[in-house]
Structures are given as structure tokens and as C-alpha cells.
Chain A
Amino acid sequence: MTQSFRGEDYIEVRDLTVDFDGFKAIEGVDVTFMQGRLHFLIGPNGAGKTTLVDALTGLVQGTGRAEFRNENLLTMKSHKIVRLGVGRTFQTASVFEQLSVLQNLDIAAGLHRKAAGLLLRRRKVPESVERALETIGLTSLANRPAGILAHGQKQWLEVGMLLVQDAQVMFLDETVAGMSTEERDETGELLQRIAGDRTIVVIEHDMDFMRRYADFVTVMHGGKVLAEGTVVEIQADPQVQEVYLGTAGEVVANG
């Protein structure tokens, strides 16, 4: 492996299994998400990518271990996991459409506030919110309702919400799906900008996008990890070519 690993702030998943009434959506997955790199999670539909993220964020029950900062994420409730610094987005952008862009970010920034502060009105824009607005490039739209944003902008707003939450680990579920080419490029650059010492995990179908921005790739298939490595290593892997990249042209088209 050629990557430089800066920190110890990683998620270590060991023997993770998610069992839906006998159907094992994920079986015995071992994977480590390291700090400071864009980690792509790829695989055909039904490979278990989203289920893996669901299990790590408390949305579905899983067995095994997923260690982050000496806590086992699999035993924690969703909101506690978020407070620990693990955030996620969803395949369909789920911003609060009635609220303005600014309010969306402000609500996301709220988890670090004291309860009594919640009973007051917002007087000024918190600094973390202003910075996030700059980073995601939505400053000029701060006071617009999130509902009028374009698809891509909504996804950036979601990323901005993770930024103000101060999420050290970000799971981004098909963030660039449905985006135009320019929006994809901007998103890729945005992710590289914010990666820093964060851990960013991107679920993706778009192979071009992956090739351009991935530091590290995990390929899943049938609920298991098929291969791991850099983009070059993955592309050279005959197993991956067989089950995934070989038919990638078609799969990607409808992904």
C-alpha cells in the first residue's frame, strides 16, 4: 500500500454480519476505514454497500465489531454515533426543504449546543456555518429555502451539514448519482478539499468518478469483501474484472 496514514482515527470493522430474517445481506465483512483518504466502496447492486453503512450508523442491527475511538458502533444508537463524530448522507438527499440553507446548517450545528441555548432564537450566524457555506459554495443561496436547490446543490448542502456537525467520519451514499459532469467534478474537488484528516467513505457506481478521486477502494460482492487496494490494484484484479468490472459498462449505465 502506498498511502500515508496520518492518524489513528479509523473505523475498524471485524466480522460484520447483517442478517435479515435468515438472508445475510452482509456476511463476515472485515474492512478498515483509515483517516485522511477518500475510501470508495463499490460493487454491483445488492452487494451490501448501503447495508454496511446502515449497520455502522445504527440503522440496522449487525453482529461483529466496528470499533471507533474505543467504542463499538454496532451497539450504539444512531444519534449517539453521530455525536461520536460519524455522519452520513442518504441516496436521496434529505435536507429540510421548508427551511433555508442557513437553517439546515444551523440545525446540524446544534448538536454541540447546550440544551438551554436551544430555547433562544438564533441571533447571528455561527462561524462554523459560515465556513461550511463557503466550502460548499452556497453562500449566495444561504437564505433560500433548501427546496429550490438543484439536485447537486442539495447533496453539497448535506456535505455541509456533516461539516458543521464536525463529523470526522463521513459516509456518502451515492452522492454524485444523477449529477451532471461539471457537478461531479466540483463534488470530487469538494471531497478532496475537506478530506484533510477526515475519514471519507464514498459509495459509488460511477467508475470514472472512482478512478479520478479514489485513494483506496473496497469492492463488495454478494455481501462480502471481494478485493481491496488502490484503483490500479483493483483494476488489475482478475476476480474483480470477472464479477464486476467485466460487466461494468452495463452496470454503471443503470446504476
Chain B
Amino acid sequence: MTSTITEASEIPDERELPEPSVVESKDFSAANLFHTYAPLAGIAILALVLLVWAPNSLSSFRLGNLGKYCAWALAAVGIGLAWGRGGMLVMGQGVFFGLGGYVMAMHMKLEAAGPGNVPDFMVLYGDATMPSWWEPFRSGPFTLFAIIALPAFVSFVLGSAILKRRVKGAYFAILTQALAVAFATLLVATIKQTGGFNGLNSFTTVFGHNLFDPAIKKNLYLIVAGLLILCLLIVWQLSRSRYGELLVATRDAEERIRFLGYDPADIKLVAFVVAAIMASIGGAMFVPLVGIISPSDVDASASIMLIAGVALGGRASLLGPALGALAVGLGQSMLSEQFPTQWTYFQGALFIVVLLFLPGGVASLWSKLTGVFPRRSRAVGATTPEPEVVS
């Protein structure tokens, strides 16, 4: 596996390159089985840690914190797909995180207010009348539907508009970042409808369950951890599918893909929408776990925190984005206890340092140190060939 120069006598102009990542179904050799199922084993280990070890070992407080990191990690897994494999540096995932979060928060706010009543902040800041578009969110099923459908719709419309116009690279990053800024500004400006700068908080129940009940808290944690594992499995299947190969090929040679008869915009749009839905689910789980969502959870700097975790873990690897987001979440908790105001600087510095010195993230450390290309998860995606930041 380290050397490809064997048996290549008939091939002139040979260079050291990764071994082909094709895993033929005919070939059931141990090595191939390992490389097909190693990512799956990684997910299984993470599942054991999150779903078995953590609930039995951590205090309720720590478990709640871990749940919050899992909510971020959900968004990060989507970013790994869109950025790591699709080459779209999505700098504004806070928008979709926020859509899911606010949808869930609106429902919980209405639950806390009780049937027929309006949320408390509308009495405080407004004239105690509720905008009509709040009304549907009294319904639990509608809320769950909206958590998926709203970001899917918004990302489809935005993605079509951006990608069909062939906006890419730095322009794509800046555009999505601007969306996050605009979204947060809009929330702040509409205090009577969305709670403004304070966001939405003081919830009591989630779908009829008492938020202060330790058993409910634990179940909420188990749900977010389970969803994280589920999303990892979805991305695993996507990346080993033909679509996954196509997405990586589009990332590396968009114009060439056009001459194979595909519209690159369509291929990227699928990844963009999937990433948006995952961010939205993360946001929706964030609210009952943390008890608040405010513009500062969805703005540009929150979006960069999500990206920083993905960059740290390794954007093109399967587990990298999730582990990176968990690590950044933990780092934020620990550092912000000691340096409450400086955390943002740490986070920005981390993002820059990782992209400068370790563009493939921690996931690429092993191959860097040993000089071996890992053949993980269909290899094409796992090894990031170009250390280009916004490609």
C-alpha cells in the first residue's frame, strides 16, 4: 500500500500516487473489506462512546454540554459534505442552524404560553398580538415538518440562484457569510416577532415533556447523539455512492464534469440542500438542550465556529467534521470559562492556523507523518489533494 511502483513495468512516466480507490464487489480480500468498512467501524465506535459510554458516565450537566456539541456536530457533518467533498465553503450555515432552531423555539414558546395565549415577549415588547405566521407552529407535527422542509426549500432556492450563476470559490464563501449576517440582523431588528437580540428562551416543555426532568434531558441527549450517528451514516452512503464520486469529481474539475453531460450546479445543489437540512436538525435539537436560541447562535461568528470545527477535524474525511465540531465545542466551554471574552480570537486563530498548516485537518495528520495516503472511505474524498482554501 505504501508503494505503487511495483508491477508497473509497462507504465512509463510513473509517479507515486495513491492506489486506486475502486473496490470491486468481486474482490473480497481482507484489505478491501477493511477499507470499505473501516469508516463504518469508526462510526460504530463513536456510537458506542456517545450512546453507551457517555450517558452512563457523565453527569447530567456534562451530558447536556455534550448534547450541545452534538447539535453543532450535526451541522458540521453537513458542512463536511458540502465543503469537503463538494468544494463549497459554506460560511453561513448559521442561517440553516437558525431556521431549525427558531422553528423549534417558536413551537416551545407557544407550548410555554399555553393554548390561545401569545408568547411572553410579545406582551413585553409589543401589543400582545401574535403575527399570523406563528400560528401553525402550535402544531407539533407541523413543527417537525418545518424543521426539514423550511431549510430544504430555502437552501434549494438560494442554492439554485447562486450555483446556477456559477458563483464559486471566495465569492460563494462571502455570499453565504453575508446571508448569515443578514439573517442575524433581521432577527435583531424584529424584536416583536422573533424576540430580537434576546432571542427565544424560558421554555418549560418540549412536545409536552418537562424540560427540567433529568430523564427527559437524558433522552434529548440520546436523540441528538442518535441523529448525529444517523447523519454520519447518510454521508457515508452518499460518499461511497456514484453520486459521491461525482461530487468529488465536480469539486476537482467542474468544467470537465460539464462535458460528461452533467450540470455541476445540480450536483452541488444536492449536497448544499442536504447540508442545510442537517444544520437545521442540529439547530432544532440545540434549543431544547440549551434552553435558548438568539441571533448570536446563528450569526457570522457562530457560522465560523462551525466551519472551524470542520477544518480542524478534516473537511474531506468522514468523521473529521463531527469530531472537530465536538472538540471545538469542548474547547469553547473550557476556554470561555477562563477567558470569557477572548474565545472568538482563539476560534479565529484556530481556523487560520489549521488551514495554513494542516489544510486536510487532523484527519490528514497520520498520512502526513507517515507519507502514506490513507485509503479511507473511497480514498478520493479522504485525501485532500489541493490545500486550496476556497476551491
Contact = CB atoms under 8 A, between A and B. Distances in A.
B261 A94 contact: no
Contacts of B25: 123-124
A147 interface: yes
Contact of B17 (A110, A120, A123, A148): A148
A78 B20 contact: no
A150 B383 CA distance: 23
A101 B11 CA distance: 13
B127 interface: no
Nearest to A96: B249
Contact of B249 (A99, A117, A124, A165): A99
Given A143-B20, A144-B20, A148-B14, A82 B261 contact: yes
A32 interface: no
Given A103-B20, A117-B242, 4 more contacts: A99-B249, A110-B242, A121-B242, A150-B13
A157 B14 CA distance: 17
27 contacts: A78-B258, A78-B259, A79-B261, A79-B262, A87-B259, A94-B253, A96-B252, A96-B256, A97-B17, A98-B248, A98-B252, A99-B245, A101-B20, A102-B22, A103-B21, A107-B242, A107-B245, A111-B261, A111-B262, A113-B242, A119-B241, A122-B242, A124-B25, A143-B20, A143-B24, A148-B4, A148-B13
A31 interface: no
Interface string B255-272: 010111111000000000
B88 interface: no
A205 interface: no
A119 to B, nearest CB: 5
B263 A110 contact: no
B19 interface: yes
Nearest to A58: B258
Interface in A123-157: 123-125, 140-141, 143-145, 147-151
Contact of B246 (A77, A118, A141, A150): A118
B208 interface: no
B18 interface: yes
Nearest to A116: B243
A108 B24 CA distance: 18
A88 interface: yes
Nearest to A100: B20
Contact of B241 (A96, A120, A125, A151): A120
A203 interface: no
Interface of B: 4, 8, 10-15, 17-22, 24-26, 237-238, 240-243, 245-246, 248-249, 252-253, 256, 258-263, 379-380, 383, 385
Nearest to B25: A123
Interface residues of A, number: 44
A174 interface: no
B379 to A, nearest CB: 8
A78 B261 CA distance: 7
Contact of A145 (B20, B26, B238, B252): B20
B261 A120 contact: no
A145 B242 contact: no
Contacts of B12: 150
A83 interface: yes
Interface of A: 57, 77-79, 82-83, 87-88, 94, 96-103, 106-108, 110-111, 113, 117-125, 140-141, 143-145, 147-151, 161, 165
A94 B256 CA distance: 7
Contacts of A98: 18, 21, 248, 252, 379-380, 383, 385
B162 to A, nearest CB: 17
A106 B242 contact: yes
A141 B253 CA distance: 22
A90 B243 CA distance: 24
Nearest to B265: A79
A96 to B, nearest CB: 5
A145 B260 contact: no
Nearest to B19: A145
B11 A107 contact: no
Given A87-B259, A111-B261, A120-B241, A96 B20 contact: no
Contacts of A121: 240-242
Given A98-B18, A102-B22, A145-B18, A165 B260 contact: yes
List the 4 shortest-distance A-B pairs measured between CB atoms, nearest first: A111-B261, A100-B20, A82-B261, A118-B243
A148 B24 CA distance: 20
A57 B259 contact: yes
A59 to B, nearest CB: 8
B13 A118 contact: no
Contacts of B241: 118-121
B245 A119 contact: no
Contacts of A107: 242, 245-246, 249, 260
A57 B262 CA distance: 13
B213 to A, nearest CB: 40
Given A107-B246, A121-B242, A99 B8 contact: no
A143 B8 CA distance: 12
A83 B13 CA distance: 34
Nearest to A122: B242
A100 B379 CA distance: 11
